């Protein structure tokens, strides 16, 4: 390390101290007391740095560490490689002097004194590091506000337990650590950024955890990363109330889940559920029919060149809309009426519970439960009432027979007649009581048969029957008619489209509800712009929670025909009391690439502000004409880039067809580029259509257009924007003409052209 900072020695000692303490703790957990004692003696004998104070020795020799869980121990071993990344010197108003706090991914307390050796980045005090500047600051902890003075903020680079560098941040210095981290290369995996979280990002992470939050963030602004850090913060702050298993992360596809999967354990989030909306609905509804994905629907429509007025897209849009939700509500009201019963619940002619009061339970008292849960509850009520009243009924009947017996005993003078009558009554009494007991055994079950049994898919299919649909919708149009007919047709073939899933989930939430194992108390949705109104509405209803973290970017809304067109529909009509925040700074890519991508924002109808790249320069995006000979040039480029330590490459196309085309075209170059399908493992050289590249990032991106050029229409502009914002460092555009990438719409100074012969 070349650092000549006056505190260098102090910092080296502090790191040695922290590591030694951690080692003690690790050893104490891993081995028996004997081994520990021996190691302790060795360590103490070899201590040669200044801080071998009495307290320190005492601490080390104290073998009485508390037991840790296996997870904690594993995290501790991991943490030892990089125990902390920052320090703050803080003088709290009420305290006599300043205190020094080292901030890391996990807290570590001196087991004797309970003083922090490392402070968790999620702790209230650590907020001062992310939020406050040097000088007077305040923070909140457990409802109390604390004020104080921060005199130092320091960042560390520690690799494999060795201090590589450290530097102080003041008001004027720019964040060097951030610059360093941004200039690194993509590893096909998202990483944690606890050391360099920026102020606006910190506000998202720590925004009120009891409220839903919606974040509109530019491409590369850290939405995915920040959503995952918020989960970590949430689980830390609410650890007494929520378990990780109660957290559901909804990602756009399997590829994306793979992409984020490694960062969650890094953030201390081990067991949260991660799935896609489709997989989730298929699981909770138990449907086994094949589902055509939204990508397949969109691709078919684009490749067939009919995206603008494709009835399939119109139908998908309608099925995600508020109007469709209203129609489903009316349908549910109508179905609900089928649960009305008109017979009293009787046993041997005695009324156990009247139809009126049973209906009262169903329609009023159990109003909050799904229909079938209400039925189960009613069943339980009838069973218990029956049990209670059966005794009374039996004893009443027995009493009646006994009275008759008395009458017979004293009423008949003729002994023969008396005998016949008495024996008749005794037998009859026995028979009747047995009959009633028998009837009681099955009475509830028989009574419950009045309630309809509903199969989700049958219910859904029925909705599209003309008579039913028109009874729920006060108007009809050719589009609605076509939607009904085409939906009925594929449902008959036992097939589903992805846009049917929202309605199925919604109906399921009314009829059966969600199984306990599939319930979630907190839901995180990434790429939320691609969700329809009904999808989010149905999720909220299914989980009965407002604890949603929703992140997305309307500029990347390539499924706009079915997805959200603005966030207001969610803030107005789905959630109450939402926190709406925006992330405008973008971290992924260079100023040059973002300047070009920003020009596309202007062409969109959404009126989104331009993204602000953090200061990192690179080359201008380059256009390369794909005529004869382009492949050689491409190959040379890749080789050069490889030599300049670029690791991950992607060729991104508008359509799947173009992806297949380029894959076969460059196969003979032997560069290892592989066509990527949705459920495949990511590799370092991929060819993929823009819709699959969403959310991912690569060092170098080649946009490629052959059969399908980007045209000046909303969907194409958005796909191009998604594709252009994937690279960290370099962007190339390979096509027949610059217009293929709408470059005729932007200033010429924003890109360069590669002249191959030169």
Ligand X SMILES: Nc1ncnc2c1ncn2[C@@H]1O[C@H](COP(=O)(O)OP(=O)(O)OP(=O)(O)O)[C@@H](O)[C@H]1O
Q: Is 223 annotated as a binding residue?
A: yes
Q: Is 285 annotated as a binding residue?
A: no
Distance in Å, CB of 472 to ligand X, minimum: 38
Q: Is 217 annotated as a binding residue?
A: yes
Instruction: Give the torsion sign (CA, 686, 688, 694, 700).
Output: positive
Using CB under 6 A, list all residues that contact ligand X: 178, 181-182, 191, 193, 196-198, 201, 217, 219-225, 553, 556, 587-588, 695, 697, 725
Distance in Å, CB of 261 to ligand X, minimum: 14
Distance in Å, CB of 177 to ligand X, minimum: 8
- Tell me if residue 257 falls in helix, strand or coil: helix
Query: Looking at beta carbons only, is 205 or 666 nearer to ligand X?
Result: 205
Alpha helices in 555-629 (DSSP H): 568-573, 591-603
672: left (phi over 0), alpha (psi -120 to 50) or beta: left
Alpha helices in 67-222 (DSSP H): 70-79, 127-130, 176-182, 199-205
Distance in Å, CB of 222 to ligand X, minimum: 3
- Tell me if residue 158 falls in helix, strand or coil: strand
Query: Looking at beta carbons only, is 220 or 268 nearer to ligand X?
Result: 220
Count of CB atoms situated within 10 Å of the CB of 401 = 17
Distance in Å, CB of 220 to ligand X, minimum: 4
Query: Looking at beta carbons only, is 105 or 325 nearer to ligand X?
Result: 105
Query: Looking at beta carbons only, is 497 or 529 nearer to ligand X?
Result: 529
112: left (phi over 0), alpha (psi -120 to 50) or beta: alpha
Q: Is 611 annotated as a binding residue?
A: no
Bridge partners, 158 (sequence order): 163
Distance in Å, CB of 215 to ligand X, minimum: 9
Query: Looking at beta carbons only, is 187 or 748 nearer to ligand X?
Result: 187
Q: Is 503 annotated as a binding residue?
A: no
Angle at 14 between CA 83 and CA 96, to 5 degrees: 105
* Token representation of residue 504: 């199925």
Distance in Å, CB of 493 to ligand X, minimum: 36
Distance in Å, CB of 280 to ligand X, minimum: 21
Query: Looking at beta carbons only, is 190 or 291 nearer to ligand X?
Result: 190
Sort strands 135-141 and 144-159 into parallel, antiparallel or unpaired. Answer: antiparallel
Distance in Å, CB of 686 to ligand X, minimum: 16
Residue 111 DSSP code: T
Count of all residues that appear for the chain in the document: 758
User: % helix / strand / coil in the chain, to the nearest 5?
Assistant: 50, 15, 35
Instruction: Give the torsion sign (CA, 551, 555, 558, 562).
Output: positive
State how far the Cα of 124 lies from the Cα of 148, in Å rounded to an integer.
14
21 alpha carbon, distance to own chain's centre: 37
State how far the Cα of 417 lies from the Cα of 422, in Å rounded to an integer.
9
Query: Looking at beta carbons only, is 85 or 537 nearer to ligand X?
Result: 85
Bridge partners, 99 (sequence order): 90
Query: Looking at beta carbons only, is 235 or 696 nearer to ligand X?
Result: 696
Q: Is 563 annotated as a binding residue?
A: no
Query: Looking at beta carbons only, is 542 or 724 nearer to ligand X?
Result: 724
Q: Is 218 annotated as a binding residue?
A: yes
Q: Is 693 annotated as a binding residue?
A: no
Please, is 427 exposed, middle or buried when counting C-beta atoms within 10 Å of its C-beta (0-12, 13-18, 19+)? exposed
- Show binding-site residues for ATP: 217-224
Binding residues: 217-224
């Amino acid at each position: 390390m070349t650092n000549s900072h006056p505190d260098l020695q102090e910092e080296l000692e502090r790191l040695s101290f922290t590591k030694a303490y951690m080692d003690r703790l690790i050893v104490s957990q891993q081995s028996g007391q004997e081994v520990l004692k021996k190691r302790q003696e060795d360590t103490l004998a070899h201590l040669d740095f200044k801080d071998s104070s009495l307290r320190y020795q005492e601490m080390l020799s104290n073998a009485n560490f508390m037991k840790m869980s296996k997870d904690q121990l594993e995290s501790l071993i991991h943490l030892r490689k990089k125990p902390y990344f920052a320090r703050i010197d803080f003088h709290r108003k009420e305290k006599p002097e300043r205190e020094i706090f080292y901030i890391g991914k996990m807290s570590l307390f001196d087991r004797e004194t309970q003083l922090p050796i490392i402070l968790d980045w999620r702790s209230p005090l650590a907020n001062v590091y992310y939020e406050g500047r040097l000088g007077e600051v305040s923070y909140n902890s457990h409802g109390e506000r604390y004020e104080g003075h921060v005199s130092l903020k320091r960042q560390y680079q520690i690799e494999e337990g060795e201090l590589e560098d450290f530097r102080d941040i003041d008001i004027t210095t720019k964040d060097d650590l951030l610059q360093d981290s941004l200039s690194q290369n993509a590893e096909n995996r998202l990483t944690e950024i606890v050391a360099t979280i920026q102020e606006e990002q910190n506000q998202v992470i720590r925004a009120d955890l009891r409220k839903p939050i919606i974040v509109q963030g530019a491409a590369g602004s850290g939405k995915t990363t920040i959503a995952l850090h918020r989960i970590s913060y949430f689980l830390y702050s609410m650890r007494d109330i929520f378990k990780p298993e109660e957290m559901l992360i909804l990602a756009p596809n399997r590829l994306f889940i793979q992409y984020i999967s490694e960062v969650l354990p890094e953030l201390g989030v081990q067991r949260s559920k991660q799935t896609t909306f489709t997989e989730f609905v298929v699981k909770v509804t138990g449907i086994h029919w094949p589902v055509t994905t939204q990508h397949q629907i969109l691709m078919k429509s684009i490749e067939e060149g009919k995206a603008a007025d494709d009835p399939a897209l119109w139908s998908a849009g309608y099925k995600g809309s508020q109007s469709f939700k209203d129609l489903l509500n009316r349908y549910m009201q109508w179905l609900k009426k089928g649960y009305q019963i008109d017979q009293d619940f009787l046993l041997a002619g005695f009324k156990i519970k009247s139809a009126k009061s049973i209906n009262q339970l169903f329609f009023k008292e159990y109003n909050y439960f799904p229909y079938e849960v209400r039925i189960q509850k009613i069943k339980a009520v009838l069973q218990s009432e029956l049990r209670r009243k059966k005794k009374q009924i039996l004893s009443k009947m027995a009493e009646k027979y006994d009275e008759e017996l008395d009458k017979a005993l004293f009423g008949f003078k003729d002994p023969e007649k008396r005998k016949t009558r008495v024996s008749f009554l005794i037998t009859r009494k026995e028979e009747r009581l047995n009959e009633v007991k028998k009837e009681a055994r099955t009475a509830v079950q028989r009574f419950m048969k009045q309630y309809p049994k509903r199969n989700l898919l049958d219910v859904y299919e029925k909705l599209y029957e003309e008579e039913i649909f028109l009874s729920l919708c006060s108007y009809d149009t050719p589009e609605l008619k076509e939607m009904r007919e085409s939906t009925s047709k594929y449902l008959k073939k036992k097939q589903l489209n992805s846009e049917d899933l929202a309605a199925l989930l919604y109906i399921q939430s009314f009829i059966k509800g969600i199984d306990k194992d599939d319930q979630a108390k907190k839901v995180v949705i990434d790429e939320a712009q691609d969700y329809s109104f009904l999808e989010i509405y149905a999720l909220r209803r299914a989980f009965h929670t407002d604890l949603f973290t929703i992140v997305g970017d309307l500029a990347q809304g390539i499924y706009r025909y079915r997805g959200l067109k603005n966030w207001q529909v969610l803030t107005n009509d789905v959630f109450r009391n939402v926190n709406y925040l925006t992330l405008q700074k973008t971290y992924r890519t260079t100023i040059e690439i973002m300047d070009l991508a920003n020009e596309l924002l202007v062409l969109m109808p959404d009126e989104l502000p331009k993204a602000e790249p953090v200061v990192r320069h690179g080359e201008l995006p380059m256009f390369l004409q794909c005529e004869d000979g382009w492949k050689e040039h491409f190959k040379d480029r890749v080789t050069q880039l490889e030599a300049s330590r670029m690791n991950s490459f992607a060729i991104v196309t508008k359509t799947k067809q173009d992806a297949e085309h380029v894959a076969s075209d460059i196969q003979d170059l032997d560069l290892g580029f592989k066509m990527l399908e949705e459920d495949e493992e990511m590799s370092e050289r991929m060819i993929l259509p823009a819709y699959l590249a969403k959310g991912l990032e690569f060092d170098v991106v080649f946009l490629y257009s052959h059969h399908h050029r980007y045209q000046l229409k909303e969907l194409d502009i958005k796909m191009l924007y998604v594709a252009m914002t994937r690279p960290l460092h370099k962007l190339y555009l390979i096509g027949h003409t610059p217009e293929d990438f709408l470059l005729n719409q932007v200033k010429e100074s924003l890109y360069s052209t590669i002249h191959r012969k030169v």
